[in-house]
Amino acid sequence: MRFLLLSFILLTALQAKLLINPFEALHAVYGDDVKIEKKNVLLTIAKAEVVYKQAKMKKGSKIFRTFKVIKDDKVIAYAILISRPVRTKDAAILYMISPKGVIESVEVIAFNEPPEFTPSRQYINQFKGKTGQDTLRVGKDIPTVTGATMGARNVTDGARLALAVFDMLFKEQ
């Protein structure tokens, strides 16, 4: 029953227009010879509070879809799919993070708002190399995007959230 509820919530959250499959995005970055393990994670209330506090965000979903990217029996990356509303419809963004906690790549997986609200590749690429130690605030260390502020804020807030989830679930001890 719990699995069905979790699946329903994730499927509902990902109703946005699919632009690329998360597995395709991961293979595009890490190669076709990697193994990818997908896992849906339900955080406890206490863990969710820690994650959202670290991300400096209002509390939201406790459910996250995560991926482990494995090559030669070694984890080479983690990915966290963050689905959040931009205006009225959800966008799903995949944050690919090294085992050291550094964002390696970001991919827009699904976006159901008008295309002009979609952050550009140039905007998304500025997240490469960012960690949980970076501020990641629109208008501070992340520039605003004229006419697409909501989409830009969504990607930026999602990066903080993905890094906080990474710290909670995967950060090397």
Note down pLDDT in tens along the chain; length 173 residues: 555 444 544 444 444 467 899 999 999 999 999 999 999 999 999 999 999 999 999 999 999 999 999 999 999 999 999 998 877 788 899 999 999 999 999 999 998 877 777 778 888 888 999 988 877 877 666 766 655 566 678 888 999 999 999 999 998 64
Residue type present at position 18: L
Strand partners, 106: 95
C-alpha 91/C-alpha 98 separation (Å) is: 23
Q: For the chain, what is the domain count?
A: 1
Which element (helix H / strand E) includes 110?
A: strand 103-111
Range(s) of the domain holding residue 15: 2-169
Q: Is the CB of residue 84 less than 8 Å from the CB of residue 162? A: no
User: pTM of the full predicted structure?
Assistant: 0.84
pLDDT of the residue at 149: 61
Q: Is the CB of residue 137 less than 8 Å from the CB of residue 157? A: no
